[in-house]
Amino acid sequence: MALLTTDAIVLHAFDYLETSRILRLATRDAGVQSVIARGARRSTRRFGAALDLFASGVAEIQTRAGRDLQQLTTFDVTVARPSLGEDLDRFASASMLAELGLRFSLGDEQGTLFGALTDALDALHGRSGAAARMSALGHAWHLVASLGFSPTVDICCACHEPVPPDEPALFSHPSGGVACARCAGGFRGGRRLPPEARQALRAWVAGEDASSSDAQVQRAHARLLKEFATHHLADGAALRAFESWVRRFA
């Protein structure tokens, strides 16, 4: 058994038996880890705010090869983020980001997921309403891209030729991005993105801000992300936190 000491964020937590809790952590050094905090419900002295969703800190984990569930021995909180639970849009946005991180993760990322989620959750602080939802939208695309699922925005997903940035383009979810005018006829379904929508998507994937105050535009971008995530992630299972977040754009 080896001791792993690493920065971590709590993405999911639930009670186990009478005294313990099971947590899903995004760690800097070992990707996503499932851990059990034995006795955590009986005494908060060892874990304290570590049992709270979205808290960041330094975790000590006893690991054993071949086990899916490791043992959390301590968690020293550095950032508790209680404000994420004080506003419905902040909480829905943070929950959506955590769900995406868990679904997109392959489990062995070295800091990529941890860094993207840290930036995303910190950016929600102090935001509410549409501002919180739009911040989460941009960071969700950056999270998706950081983990290797980046949609193509300027290169045709079929022939790989450049698509001029000032032209509308068909976005194909199954193919993972935009199609040029010549190839678009070969795709069924999809959404036609105007140049400004492609510009926003390009910025979000790169980790830049591209907020819009237009409610219709916000809803359209939320639907685009939902369709992309559902196709590439869901595998027939519901994305409950994601669905709840999208409904707040209605």
Give me the CATH code for the 83-150+190-247 domain, please.
1.20.1440.120
CATH of 2-80, one of 3.30.70.20, 3.50.50.60, 2.40.50.140, 3.10.450.50: 2.40.50.140
pLDDT digits (tens, 9 = 90+) for 197-247: 999 999 999 999 888 889 999 999 999 998 898 888 766 678 899 999 999
Query: How confident is the model over 96-107, as pLDDT tens digits?
Result: 999 998 887 776
Amino acid of residue 249: F
Domains of the chain, residue spans: 2-80, 83-150+190-247
- Counting DSSP H helices and E strands in the chain, the numbers are 6, 8
Q: What are phi and psi of 147, to 5 degrees?
A: -95, 10
C-alpha count within 13 angstroms, C-beta hemisphere, residue 244: 15
Beta bridge partners of 61: 4, 72
Two domains, one topology: 2-80 and 83-150+190-247: no
What residue has token string 């899916």? 68
The reported pTM is: 0.90
